[in-house]
Amino acid sequence: MESRNRWAAVAAMALATAAAGASAADARHDSARHDSTSIARGRYLVTISGCNDCHTPGGMEKGPAVPEAGWLTGLPVGFQGPWGTTYPSNLRLVLGSMTEAQWLHHARQERLPPMPWFNLRAMTDADLKAIYAFVRSLGPAGVATPAYVSPGGKVTTPYFVFVPRTDAQPLASR
């Protein structure tokens, strides 16, 4: 009787262990599935919201022809306007150095033009987390972009000038 009880206890423990093992495996599977869904969604959001236009070398000129390995590595060419000269940051390094919570805060800060910071601010936590998962899945690459230069400061890199122009020549004299 005593030995039967002992065996029953051992069997119960074995079952419990098997169940715990199974649920840990399920949880791992769920989290892997969750990660890959999140990464895919992040890739989609980055693509449709135009982050590559500015943050990826060749993004504006070559569009989808730029291999993912080069995405979001930052532009060493400045954008100059009345705000000074800004550089689209290397997001692979910026996000790579942050926790997800830090990113949620960082992503919602006001930035200088032409960064559409208000678009990022309008994103849900889930969207920002997906972008975080995607960018981090690409891994760190490239170098940090040059520092911001205030208006009138010396710029040592190539830069685009954001100045609206009108053609002063009257049509008739062309």
Residue choice 80, 96, 141, 148 for contact with ligand HEC (CB under 6 A): 148
Give the interface segment with ligand HEC, choosing from 5-13, 19-27, 45-53, 164-172 (CB under 6 A). 45-53
Identify which of residues 107 and 138 has a Cβ nearer to ligand HEC in the complex.
107
Residue 42: CB atoms within 10 A of its CB come to 22
In the complex, the smallest distance separating the C-beta of residue 104 from ligand HEC, rounded to whole angstroms, is: 11
* Phi, psi (deg, nearest 5) at residue 34: -60, -45
Write out the binding residues for ligand HEC, residues 55-94 only, by CB under 6 A: 55, 79, 86, 88-89, 91, 94
Q: How far apart are CA 120 and CA 115, in angstroms?
A: 10
Q: Residue 84's closest CA among 164, 165, 162?
A: 162
In the complex, the smallest distance separating the C-beta of residue 34 from ligand HEC, rounded to whole angstroms, is: 21
Does a cis peptide bond (omega within 30 degrees of 0) precede residue 114? Answer: yes
Residue choice 40, 44, 47, 53 for contact with ligand HEC (CB under 6 A): 53
Residue choice 115, 127, 137, 140 for contact with ligand HEC (CB under 6 A): 115
Query: For residues 92 and 140, is the Cβ–Cβ distance under 8 A?
Result: yes
Contacts of 84 (CB under 8 A, 6+ apart): 112, 148, 149, 150, 151, 153
Identify which of residues 91 and 133 has a Cβ nearer to ligand HEC in the complex.
91
Q: Interface residues with ligand HEC (CB under 6 A)?
A: 49-51, 53-55, 79, 86, 88-89, 91, 94, 107, 111-112, 114-116, 119-120, 131, 148
